[in-house]
A and B are shown apart, each in its own frame.
Chain A
């Protein structure tokens, strides 16, 4: 059994027919339940549920404050390398894009780490493109060793690994994994991933579970919104998170709802996901998994992020930069995507306090 079996159970599900059958009264009944079923979650993602958005928001807000308090964990991404052998039509780092390719030396990693650590952040997310030649596991492990001196929690957002490789990075000090399936619909996945190892849908789908088996502490999954019908993609993301939480009860599971942003490749979103849609997704997930984390990146604008905050968000990035070495190199390198909220850590902190939230800089520390 892997999440793929769960996916197959709903692969040919008639989402439209289900959505047409959902009534506002049914959504109201779901709001009174303690524990939501998979189909309750899907009903909250239906067009009918849009009529009860405020009621759902009230409940989502209460649940979030109850379980997470008025706190938001802050983290920042650090791009180690942008070499990539994949051709994902929507990504700025895709192999066919003519951009400057580079990877940080360990000295450069340390220089970036110093700049970030000076802002007080303790949680870092490191990223690479998929290139086992330029950014092999051994390179990532060496970077982790440097970063451990500056950060108490290190997460990776890299290509899918073998279970033993995850174990190797965990032993080196990694405690979190972020890995987006990008699109759960297998057919669409095939259309968007033209070449490279990333074409292997199943290998990617099962990677978070391999990391859980290897003993990772936190796992963050997600679908890139804009590639396919958002309602079913949000549904599968929630099912994936729930599947992992059920099987790996000690792992802190979270999701991200990233919406596509402009980038070098210029691939326009196939589906427009409105602010209202994004809100509905966040709320529905909060009710489905009251203790599940929800991460909101700087892809969204400052104004929208401030408004989404009380709806269920538990983790936000700050002072983000999506270019390799972007914090210490003088020139303006090309990022993976354009960020929309460019506030620095200090500005984020003062915004959070203003909204009655405590910024949390440290929520874990490596125990070795």
Chain B
């Protein structure tokens, strides 16, 4: 069975999205993308420098990749909307990842401002990917506002602490019809696999790859883990049981005839 990922008007075969921050050189990006198989790459508009060919990160992204510019640095909906428009004007396409952060200590997203920015940008025809703190009511609002997906955090950005918000993400997967893309906090390939097994549509990873001792090998590991987790989800894992099936302490009598 061919597992095509339809999202934001594109058809993808990989469910791993990668970030571009924190690398020791932008020159590494093509080999990271190749090793991981990722087709979507997020880029902070604040870092895009179109005046400087050598250092312009956009020049290092392979042509087949989908660029998902993000609004890193936005402190409210107004700034996020402006950055999104700049991204479109710079030729970065219609995809936009909304990051509205007014907390510089933990970098937790501001859900309220994120909803506002999503409403405005979706109405302007953007494919909006909002980064959010996992909360069911907020996810429903984002769905209503016209988001293309919902991107809950697994743990604070850059923390590499794994799926700390697992139960909340599980609820979003069950209740929201949009693709749920786990963003932020994933520190190990096993955690990416776990998110995919749960039914996440994709995962986005940056710090765990960029700060690994060997980023290229780690990128490959994440690519494999996401494939494995997705395959397991599609295969439908066997049900787990608390008791060995031989023992039915409460209903066993029904079989005694």
Contact = CB atoms under 8 A, between A and B. Distances in A.
B104 A367 contact: no
Contacts of B46: 362-365
Contact of B49 (A68, A70, A122): A122
A12 B103 CA distance: 33
Classify the secondary structure of B's interface with A. Answer: loop
A253 B103 CA distance: 11
Contacts of A357: 24
Interface in B36-63: 45-49, 51-52, 55
A231 to B, nearest CB: 25
B104 A362 contact: no
B104 A356 contact: no
Given A69-B210, A361-B52, A362-B49, A353 B25 contact: yes
Contacts of B24: 69-71, 353, 356-358
B175 to A, nearest CB: 30
Classify the secondary structure of A's interface with B. Answer: loop
Contacts of A253: 104
A363 B103 contact: no
Interface size class of A (residues with CB under 8 A): 20 to 34
Interface in B9-32: 21-26
Contacts of B107: 291
Contacts of A362: 46-49, 52
Nearest to B160: A66
Contacts of B8: none
Interface string A66-82: 11111100000000000
Interface in A87-108: none
A250 interface: yes
B55 A69 contact: no
A217 B83 CA distance: 15
A245 interface: yes
Contacts of A251: 104
Given A66-B158, A361-B52, A291 B23 contact: no
Nearest to B73: A364
A360 interface: yes
B23 A245 contact: no
A68 B22 contact: yes
Contact of B75 (A66, A250, A359): A250
Nearest to A360: B47
A249 B108 CA distance: 11
Nearest to B85: A367
A358 B207 CA distance: 15
Contact of B55 (A66, A70, A120): A120
B141 interface: no
A235 B139 CA distance: 43
Contact of A69 (B22, B45, B75, B86): B22
12 contacts: A66-B211, A70-B22, A70-B23, A70-B210, A245-B104, A250-B103, A250-B104, A291-B107, A353-B25, A358-B24, A363-B46, A363-B47
